[in-house]
Structure 1
Amino acid sequence: MTTDRLLLRLPDDDDLAPFAAMNADPEVMRYIGDGSVQPPDSAAAGIARAHREWHERGYGLLAVVVRETGRTAGWVTLTVPAFLPEVLPAVEIGWRLGRQHWGNGYATEAAGRLLGFGFAECGLDRIVSIRHVDNQRSRRVMDKLGLRFAFETVVPAHGRPVAVHEITHAGRTDGGPGARTPR
């Protein structure tokens, strides 16, 4: 999949170092899971899981590559948010970018493309996005994508507060990035 500035593709070994660097950056991981950095081998496990999910479900995690430079900026995903059982059944859209790529609109651009894919190609009717309640950067991306606040809750595994946002296929009337039909 492509956007004007990005290539979204299945992750491969070239993504191991950029993914591991993101997972080891305390500022990137601040609002993710329990807020801890992840060990280097978590990148390889994530790439293997991405390939399994695409094979089993027809959607999953994609590396986000800046077309102009060829550098991996991070990833975007459609996945089942098993960590928050109360929202199930659901598919979540999420993203993680290396800090050097923040502020360029890449998260909105990549997630908008994948959101459109989820509705148009996967036949999803509802997509959620879940953020730590203090993560205002992700909230702004969710707002730009047309996701609307649904409720707050806590993640059972670690008790951190999260906000759940959602969008339905029928609710995509704003013409935003997720409303576009994939090329």
Structure 2
Amino acid sequence: MSEIRTPRLVLRRWQDDDLVPLSEIQADPVVMRWIGDGKPRSLEQTAEDIEAWEEEWDDEGFGIFAVELLGSGELIGAVGLYAPDSQPEVAGEVAIGWRLAPVFWGQGYASEAAHAALEFALQDRGISRVVALCRIGDTASANVLRKLDMHAEGATEDPVLGYDLRIFGIDLTQFQG
């Protein structure tokens, strides 16, 4: 699988040219507010992220996609699948997540890319269930999860950082492709 095309986007594996634009996205405190420890990430940390995502692709057959605009090829963010093993309630499952540059917020790109990644997981990779961890207060991500028909299944606390999370989930029988 080299790429997934949607009406406006291309989801693909990472390339060397993606490091600087993704680093600029991840250096934005507004983008990173709800992700991980909430701190912007450096160029070196972004390189480590891409390397880890590519290793997950090689090891698991899924991972985080680079997301670019179909027409221009501009990198707008990252969307895809990961193993949320640090969260005990969903350890061993597959989770979905995303981050886009703010200039692309509010245009349906996150929902479009996340839907394609979810379809890839459930229909192409045979993953029977996908979860999402959403920090309490992150209403934009919660709205995307609702658009994906993912259902809130409970709440928990991040074991390392201590913030409250809501767990969402969907399985193949619930997915509307």
TM-score above 0.5, yes or no? yes
User: What code does the residue aligned with 1:18 have?
Assistant: P
Q: Does 1:27 align with 2:30?
A: yes
Q: Does 1:114 align with 2:117?
A: yes
Q: Distance in 1 between matches of 2:108 and 2:14?
A: 21
The secondary structure found in structure 2 opposite 1:69 is coil
Q: Distance in 1 between matches of 2:104 and 2:19?
A: 17
Tell me the residue number matched to 1:58. 61
Q: Distance in 2 between matches of 1:75 and 1:133?
A: 21
Q: 1:73 aligns with which of 71, 76, 85?
A: 76
Describe the superposition over 1:75-130 as per-residue Cα deviations: whole angstroms up to 9, x where unpaired: 11111012212212210011110111111111111110111110111111110011
Tell me the residue number matched to 2:40. 37
Describe the superposition over 1:28-57 as per-residue Cα deviations: whole angstroms up to 9, x where unpaired: 111111211122211111111122111111
Q: Give the deviation of 1:152 after TM superposition.
A: 1.1
Q: 1:139 aligns with which of 121, 139, 142?
A: 142
Structure 1, unpaired ranges of 5+ = none
The secondary structure found in structure 2 opposite 1:83 is coil
Q: What is the TM-score normalised by the length of structure 1?
A: 0.92
Structure 2, unpaired ranges of 5+ = none
Checking the alignment, whether the CA contact within 8 Å between 1:153 and 1:163 is kept in structure 2 is yes
Q: Does 1:98 align with 2:96?
A: no
Q: Distance in 2 between matches of 1:19 and 1:77?
A: 14
Q: Give the deviation of 1:161 after TM superposition.
A: 0.8
Tell me the residue number matched to 2:165. 162
Checking the alignment, whether the CA contact within 8 Å between 1:18 and 1:98 is kept in structure 2 is no
Q: Name whichever of 145-154 and 14-23 sits farther off.
A: 14-23
Q: Aligned residues, how many?
A: 174
Q: Name whichever of 142-151 and 31-40 sits farther off.
A: 31-40
Q: Distance in 1 between matches of 2:63 and 2:74?
A: 20
Q: What is the TM-score normalised by the length of structure 2?
A: 0.95
Tell me the residue number matched to 2:155. 152
Tell me the residue number matched to 1:10. 13
Checking the alignment, whether the CA contact within 8 Å between 1:10 and 1:50 is kept in structure 2 is no
Q: Does 1:46 align with 2:49?
A: yes
Which runs of 4 or more aligned residues in structure 1 lie more than 4 Å from their structure 2 counterparts after TM superposition? Answer: none
Q: Distance in 2 between matches of 1:48 and 1:87?
A: 23
User: What code does the residue aligned with 1:97 have?
Assistant: L
- Identical-pair percentage: 36
Q: Name whichever of 40-49 and 70-79 sits farther off.
A: 40-49
